[in-house]
Structure 1
Amino acid sequence: MEIEIATIGGYEEVGRNCTAVRAGDDIVIFDMGLNLSKVLIHDNVETERMHSLDLIDMGAIPDDRVMSDLEGDVKAIVPTHGHLDHIGAISKLAHRYDAPIVARPFTIELVKGQLEGEQKFGVDNELVKMDPDERMAIGDECELELVHVTHSIIDASNPVLHTPEGSVVYGLDKRIDHNPVIEEPFDMQRFREIANEGEGVLAYIEDTTNAGRKGRTPSESHARNHLKDVMYSLEDYSGGIVATTFSSHVSRVTSLVEFAKDIGRQPILLGRSMERYSGTAERMGRVNFPDNLGMFGHRKSVDRAFKRIMNEGKGNFLPIVTGHQGEPRAMLTRMGRGETPFDFDDGDKVIFSARVIPEPTNEGQRYQSEQLLRMQGARIYDDVHVSGHLSQEGHYQMLQELQPQHVIPAHQNLENVGKYVPLAESQGYKMGRDLHVARNGQTIQLTE
């Protein structure tokens, strides 16, 4: 069977991830993501109102026109998890394919939200919820499986396409976490089994975000302990404390809510995406927040919450807000610019339970946000966080467990992908033979 891989997006940047795998006459597309930095550099861009071709030209969504070079029919669109760099282009591209969108339940709920907000295209692809213990037929000879992995969002998976020539493992966005906060541990056992089934692993597409970072990425429980230490150290502080993290990081939000209660403060979630992710998780029964936890996304309700905080005393509350990357329209950035009823006093604390995404736009915006906060007298607690991506020891372990015939690094610019190359070469892979560094829009023929 011919096996071919199209590297559509995410092979030259952080974001707009998209890869297609053709097995004979059947094609599976993994991820359709957004490159948010390409949107944020423009003022007041509303992607939901824009045409896909304009967004492709901006470099904001994958240029899927390379799909015309693949001879076959798309059988499934499979997002790995609910981050925008993996689902943010589904509303713009999925309608081009007569195929279901297949993902784990939390991811499907987030995709629904994306589709409901779309104002340019009508997307009526079937939405199929799939759990890690299930299989889905792809044509007559292949099967799709979602292996549970741990990341900075719940219900993350590494999809596996089982073919007669071996399995193709799409390995983006994970860390090996044996002690997560609210989820099952990383399923390394299933990866070991896949490596020993049939023809083994034909190809492994790997996220190289932290390929230059030595050692092992710590567990989310490590971040929880760090956050607990910071929060408890502020128990006697009577002024304002504000926390910010990835709105999609439900595990981290859960810890912030719990520790706020422990130190006698009422947590309040503020920001549209904070309300969307945590609200969805709560409705699905994935988390148990206190009954009186406030979640506010719209500006008027957010401003009312800030007025209440100021009237009743900042020392009684912990606002948990969006804006950890310094996004211009996010809540923390508005607070730093003085555009909300919340006033900082000298010595007030801002806890960044997040690391800046290593991309120039994000780094510049985060720097500006921190300067605005400092100018108002805030003191910053930085990097109370652990990454959601493998570091070097995790990469070594995945290669040793899977023993793939071919390795394809992804999810970074070429400079950072280059940091993965010597790591893979040390394990016996060779550029141009079985280690394939690709650009966006290329195809890689694995079998003929």
Structure 2
Amino acid sequence: MEIEIATIGGYEEVGRQMTAVRAGDDVVIFDMGLNLSKVLIHDNVETERMHSLDLIDMGAIPDDRVMSELEGDVKAIVPTHGHLDHIGAISKLAHRYDAPIVASPFTIELVKGQIEGEEKFGVDNELVKMSGGESMEIGNGLELEFVHVTHSIIDAINPVLHTPEGAIVYGLDKRLDHNPVLEDPIDMQRFREIGREGEGVLAYIEDTTNAQKKGRTPSESVARTHLKDALQSMEDYDGGIVATTFSSHISRVSSLVEFAKEIGRQPILLGRSMEHYSGAAERMGYVDFPDDLGMFGHRKSVDRAFKRIMNEGKDRFLPVVTGHQGEPRAMLTRMARGETPYELESGDKVVFSARVIPEPTNVGQRYQAEKLLGMQGARIYDEIHVSGHLNQEGHYQMLQALNPKHVIPAHQEMEGYAPYVNLAESEGYKVGRDLHITRNGNRIQLVE
């Protein structure tokens, strides 16, 4: 059976992920993501009102026109998890393909939100839920399997396409977390089994974000302990404490809510995306928030919540807000600019339970936000976080578990591939033979 891989998006940047695998006459698409930094550099861009071709020209979503060169029919669109760099282009591109969107239950819920907010295209692809540990027949002699992985969002999976020529493992994004906070550990046993079954693993497409970092990525339980220690150290402070983290990081948000209660403060979630992700997680039973937890996304309701905090006393609340990357319209940035009823004062604590995404737009925006916060006297608690991506030892473990015949690095800028190339070559792979460094829009023929 012919096996061909089209590397459509996310092979020259961190963002707008999209990969297609053709096995015989059948095609499976993995991810359809957005590069948010390409949107943020333009003022007041509303992607839901924009045409896909304009977003492609901006470099914001994948240029999927290479799909016309693949001789096969798309059988499924498979996002790995609910981050925007993996689902943010579904509302712009999925309608072009007569294929269901197959994803884990929480990811499907977030995809629904993307589709409902779309104002340019009608997306009526069937939405199919499948959990980690489950599989389904697809196309002619193919099987799609979901392996549960741990990442900085709940319900993440690595999809595996089983073909007569071996398995194609799409390995974005994960860390090897054996002690997560809200869900099961990563299913490493299944990865080891896939590496030994049948024809083995024909190709492994790998997220190489942290390949330059030595050691292993710490567990989310480590970040939880760090966060608890930081907040407990503020227990006697009688001023304002504000926290920010990735809105989609439900495990981290739940820890913030819990620890706020422990230090005698009322947690309150503020910002559109904070309400969106946490609301969805609570409705689906992934997390059990206190009955009195407030979640507010609309600007007027957020400002009313800020007024309540100021009236009743900042020492009684811990607002958890959007804006950890310094996004111009996010809550924390508005607070830093003095555009909300919440008044920051000298000595107030701002906890960043997140890291700066290493991309120039984010770095610049975060720098500006921190400077503005500092000008108001805020004290910054930074990097209370662990990454959702593999460090070097995790990469070695995955290569040893899967023993793939071919390796395709992804999720990185071109110059950023070097550490992973060195790592893979130390395991016996060779560029141009079985280690494929590629660009967006390329095709790799694995079996002719």
**TM-score when scaled to structure 1?**
1.00
Q: Distance in 1 between matches of 2:445 and 2:2?
A: 8
1:408 aligned partner:
408
2:220 and 2:323 map into 1 onto residues whose CA distance is 21
Question: SS at the partner of 2:428?
Answer: coil
Aligned to 1:41: 41
Name the counterpart of 1:108: 108
CA-CA distance at 1:138 after TM superposition? 1.5
Partner Cα distance (2:219, 2:326) in 1: 25
- Write the distance in 2 (CA, Å) between the matches of 1:429 and 1:209: 19
Give 1:243-282 correspondences, 5 Å limit.
243-282=243-282
Q: Give 1:418 deviation, angstroms.
A: 1.9
Whole-Å separation in 2 of the counterparts to 1:413 and 1:251: 28
1:147 aligned residue: 147
8 Å Cα contact 2:26-2:140 kept in structure 1 = no
Counterpart in the other structure of 1:51: 51
Residue of structure 2 equivalent to 1:230: 230
Question: What's 1:387 paired with?
Answer: 387
Given that 2:7 and 2:20 are in contact with CA atoms closer than 8 Å, whether structure 1 keeps it comes out as: yes
Q: Partner residue of 1:199?
A: 199
Aligned pairs (5 A) from 1:18-417: 18-417=18-417
Distance in 2, Cα, partners of 1:359 & 1:248 = 19
How far residue 14 of structure 1 moved from its aligned partner, in angstroms, is 0.8
Q: Secondary structure at the match of 1:304?
A: helix
Cα distance in 1, alignment partners of residues 71 and 259 from structure 2: 54
Aligned residues: 448
- SS for the counterpart of 2:278 is helix
Counting aligned pairs with the same residue, the percent is 83
Residue-by-residue CA offset, 1:287-323 (whole Å, 9 max, x unaligned)? 0000000000000000000000000000000000000
- Kept in 1, the 8 Å contact 2:133–2:148? The answer is no
Distance in 2 between residues matched to 1:128 and 1:442, nearest whole Å: 29
Q: Which SS does the other structure have where 1:74 is aligned?
A: strand
Deviation at residue 139 of structure 1 after TM alignment: 1.2
Q: Within 2, Cα distance between the matches of 1:238 and 1:134? A: 50
- Taking the aligned partners of 1:139 and 1:32, their CA distance within structure 2 comes to 20
Q: In structure 2, what residue type is equivalent to 1:184? A: D
Shift of 1:135: 1.3
**How far is 1:133 from its partner?**
2.6
Shift of 1:119: 0.1
- SS of aligned partner of 1:113: helix
SS at match of 1:306: helix
- What SS class does the counterpart of residue 380 from structure 2 fall into? strand
8 A contact 2:216–2:393 mirrored in 1: yes
- State the alpha-carbon separation in 1 of the partners of residues 56 and 281 from structure 2: 31
Q: Deviations over 1:314-370 (max 9, x none)?
A: 000000000000000111000000000000110000000000001000000000000
- Provide, for residues 410-440 of structure 1, a one-character-per-residue CA deviation record: whole Å limited to 9, x for no partner: 0010111122100000000000000000000
Counterpart residue type for residue 306 of structure 1? F
In 1, the alpha carbon distance for the partners of 2:350 and 2:250 equals 19
Post-superposition offset of 1:106: 0.1
Letter in 1 for 2:300: K
* SS at structure 1 position matched to 2:409: strand
Secondary structure in 1 matching 2:273: helix
- State the AA in 2 paired with 1:332: L
Q: Contact 2:34 / 2:87 at 8 angstroms: preserved in 1?
A: yes
Matched residues in 1 for 2:37 and 2:417: separation?
A: 19
Deviations 1:236-269 (A, max 9, x none): 0000000000000000000000000000000000
Aligned to 1:445: 445
Residue 29 of structure 1: SS of its match in structure 2?
strand
Secondary structure of the residue that 1:444 maps to in structure 2?
strand
Instruction: State the alpha-carbon separation in 2 of the partners of residues 423 and 286 from structure 1.
Output: 36
Q: Which residue of 1 aligns with 2:11?
A: 11
CA distance in 2, matches of 1:188, 1:322: 33
1:58-90 deviation digits (Å, cap 9, x = unpaired): 000000000011000000000000000000000
* Pair 1:421-2:421 in alignment: yes
Alpha-carbon deviations, 1:212-244, whole Å to 9, x = none? 001100000000000000000000000000000
Residue identity opposite 2:170 in structure 1: Y
Specify the SS of the correspondent of 1:408.
strand
Letter in 2 for 1:377: G
What is the root-mean-square deviation in Å for CA atoms of aligned residues?
Answer: 0.4
Q: What CA distance in whole angstroms lies between the structure 1 residues aligned with 2:125 and 2:419?
A: 38
TM-score, L = length of structure 2? 1.00
| Structure 2 spans left out of the alignment, 5+ residues | none
For residue 131 of structure 1, report the CA deviation from its aligned partner: 1.2
Kept after mapping to 1: 8 A contact 2:306/2:340: yes
SS of the residue corresponding to residue 65 of structure 1 reads helix
Residues in 1 aligned to 2:68 and 2:424: alpha-carbon distance in whole angstroms: 31
Return the letter of the residue paired with 1:316. Answer: R
